[in-house]
Amino acid sequence: MNAALIFAGGTGQRMSTAARPKQFLELYGKPIIIYTLEVFENHPDIDLIVISCLAG
């Protein structure tokens, strides 16, 4: 079994995005993290995706 570990726990302090962490900012109509998830979801060797992110 191959698991993809995605670390998305940043707060975006260097980008000054206090209202929303950068992984949840939208780019071309969807949150940035979705682009990452789609790559792993469509990869034939990945069986499981684990995301580490902020509770809120």
Q: pLDDT (tens digit, 9 = 90+) per residue, 30-40?
A: 998 899 999 99
The 3-state DSSP class for residue 40 equals helix
> Burial level of 38, CB count in 10 A (0-12/13-18/19+)?
exposed
Task: Supply the pTM of this predicted model.
Answer: 0.74
pLDDT(45) > 80: yes
pLDDT(16) > 70: no
